[in-house]
Structure 1
Amino acid sequence: MARKFFVGGNFKSNGTVASIKSIIDGLNNAKLNNSVEVVIAPPALYLLLAKEITGNGVDVAAQNIYNKGNGAYTGEISAQQLKDAQVHWVILGHSERRSIFGESDEFVASKTKAALDAGLSVILCIGESLEEREKGVTIDIVTRQLAAVAEQVQDWSKIVIAYEPVWAIGTGKVATTAQAQEVHAAIRSWLKEKVSAEVSDATRILYGGSVTDKNSKDLATQPDVDGFLVGGASLKPAFIDIINSA
């Protein structure tokens, strides 16, 4: 099955009105590969601005939701509110949410279910720490994270998986093409065994972790690498080259 290449840009907690307008202007005016699905995730404060001015086939994502609906949850954003604002995507399970804010596999899974139930599409992040990589338990970790989602979710059609080795995020280190392909192939094999062959064939698996315009072309050649989730480089003109690396 042909899987449409996907590139996400996670701005994290970066940006101002001026800088986000500048980034989006650059994307609007760029010649982007029209066979690539592109989604950018600015901070929540700028979601409506981004939604209003983003064109050129680029969509917008939130970086988080709470797992409950609307209610007395000060400071949180619900999936229903994103749906109302016509923000179609959300990033969930990012390692920074897991490590800094203590989000468990089960909590990430409950947020994934809440997003899907509201009609959103999810970029589901999984990945191992350097210590886990060195212990040789990478596959155990990423499949455990996926298994938590599988316990709560039946329909995977609106999930894109982003494999992001924690040791490669923002460090300048990057998994080799062989390392990335090995984990992506294991994820696809797990989906086939534990979910279904159809889901395994259809689900896009992204690589994230110090992706740049220098390494994206090689990574994109791997049969199970269906795109990228880009952090810091999504704030720079090089993001356009990464999009076009497909």
Structure 2
Amino acid sequence: MQQSICEATTRTTLRRMGYNSRRPHRVPLISITNRKKRLQFARAHQNWTVEDWKNVAWSDEFQFMLRHSDRRVRIWRKQNENMDPSCLVTTVQAGGGGVMVWGMFSWHTLGPLVPIGHRLNATAYLSIVSDHVHPFMTTMYPSSDGYFQQDNAPCHKARIISNWFLEHDNEFTVLKWPPQSPDLNPIEHLWDVVERELRALDVHPTNLHQLQDAILSIWANISKECFQHLVESMPCRIKAVLKAKGGQTQY
């Protein structure tokens, strides 16, 4: 005779076994080829110290949504299984409504945060590079020992962008960045900071103009301790990629 078990009994039994109900980490699905590239990058920079990483200016684009999904997917896992492949939800990049911004920072200071009123293409990105990246790099790294980090978005790899960087390669170096590596880019955690602060607002933005104003205000007030701590985590991030053999890390 087949017996049924109620949901409450199942939950109790799982907890006794050491499992807890948690939301799964959302991580990019990394291809075998890109795992190799991530591993190569980690090996090439495994001897970099925090002092070396202070010479890097980090950049990224991010879209903040006016309304967030509730992400109600939950899983049962043990405390030390947060990065187990069976406990992850893979994600892919997608568009959507909201406010898109481009930003940069280094260990020394927060850089500009630039609202992007339309989809970022090579022409628009060239304006950002010339108007914001160039003055930031030449001011922060007057000895031409700075590195500029960008990911592998199509507009970043356009010919006009590559040519511009070649024309200025005597002023700073573009860091060769591995694909699918948001866990290596500390600016991703600054986006998390802004999102948390947005959710914690007493009065939530009701339109895109209010959302943009709130984002800019929160960014400007991120503490120096916060972004410096993120840069100081780089040696640990590199070690994590090495340990994961190029796979996803807890960052």
Structure having greater relative contact order (Cα 8 Å, sep ≥ 6): 2
TM-score, normalising length from structure 2?
0.30
TM-score, normalising length from structure 1?
0.31
Higher CA-based Rg:
2
